[in-house]
């Protein structure tokens, strides 16, 4: 279980997150929906300290438990420990252009985790096979399509063996014909029991894989429940309004 409590975040004098609470069960897929500016991406970035909240905490109740209290000054070690538990996949791919695909995947385990290069290489090749790109290991990012680069981004995040995978609208920068390959890769992870929190507008994907759908608006969670409850019988007016706009776009 990962317990997120009372996450509050402001930029200058504007409060973006108003005390967000979320429980994430091991192996569950949580999909976060909401209109632009609702705080979804900021919340996701707070979960691995890319943004530091003014208040709140995160607890990993696992084999290697971790408690992070954002009201206390965090050391670099605290932040690094948290980020080792959270793999992040961004809207843009952020691959190193001067490194091959396999070198991109191996970067974190070798230079951050100081792991054995030969073992890491074998694991990287296995990850490339998982995402269907085993024949691209020696290519450079510019030689791949956007969808292929995003799948490499997923493999790179998995390479650190995170307890939690975070996805920030991973298909939003892709051409429509490339979206499905990325979603299929994420479905593989879901079937393998990888714990994930995903910000996305892909309703069918959420229906297919989500255990919990969370709707955010104005920095708050306004509703959460199973995909069927949220999409078929939403209880909150803000949820109904957002889903109506989403379906008409």
Mean pLDDT of the chain: 91
Provide the domain limits for residue 179.
2-248
Give the pLDDT band of residue 233 (cuts 50, 70, 90): confident
By the 10 Å C-beta count (0-12 exposed, 13-18 middle, 19+ buried), 196 is classed as: buried
Question: What's the pTM?
Answer: 0.91
Angstrom distance (rounded) from CA 96 to CA 79: 23
> Residue 27: pLDDT band by 50, 70, 90 thresholds?
very high
| Residue 126, domain CATH | 3.40.50.300
Average pLDDT over residues 17-26: 95
pLDDT of residue 30: 96
Q: How many domains does the chain have?
A: 1
pLDDT grade for 70, boundaries at 50, 70 and 90: very high
Query: 249 pLDDT band (50/70/90 cuts)?
Result: low
- pLDDT given for residue 239 in this prediction: 86
What percent of the chain has a predicted confidence (pLDDT) above 90? 67
Burial code (b: 16+ CB inside 10 Å, e: under 16) for 76-95 equals eebeebbbbbbbbbbbebeb
Place of tokens 């079937």: 191
Report the alpha-carbon distance of residue 113 to residue 36 in Å, rounded: 35
pLDDT of residue 248: 61
């Amino acid at each position: 279980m990962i317990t997120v409590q009372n996450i509050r975040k402001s930029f200058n004098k504007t409060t973006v997150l108003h005390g967000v609470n979320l429980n994430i069960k091991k192996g569950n897929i949580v999909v976060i929906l909401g209109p632009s500016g609702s705080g979804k991406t900021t919340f996701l970035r707070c979960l691995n300290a890319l943004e530091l909240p003014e208040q709140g905490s995160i607890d990993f109740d696992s084999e290697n438990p971790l408690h992070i209290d954002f009201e206390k000054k965090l050391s670099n070690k605290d932040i690094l420990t948290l980020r080792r538990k959270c793999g992040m996949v961004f809207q843009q791919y952020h691959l190193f252009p001067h490194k091959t695909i396999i070198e991109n995947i191996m970067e974190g385990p070798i230079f951050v985790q100081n792991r054995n290069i030969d073992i890491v290489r074998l694991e990287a090749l296995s990850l490339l096979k998982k995402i269907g790109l085993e024949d691209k290991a020696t290519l450079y990012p510019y030689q791949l399509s956007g969808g292929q680069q995003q799948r490499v981004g997923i493999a790179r995040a998995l390479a650190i063996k995170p307890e939690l995978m975070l996805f920030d609208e991973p298909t939003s920068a892709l051409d429509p014909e490339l979206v499905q390959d990325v979603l299929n890769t994420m479905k593989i992870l879901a079937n393998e029991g990888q714990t994930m929190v995903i910000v996305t507008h892909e309703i069918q994907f959420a229906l297919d894989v989500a255990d919990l759908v969370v709707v955010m608006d104005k920095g708050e969670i306004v509703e959460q429940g199973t995909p069927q409850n949220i999409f078929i019988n939403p209880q909150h007016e803000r949820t109904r309004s957002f889903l109506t706009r989403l379906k008409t776009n």
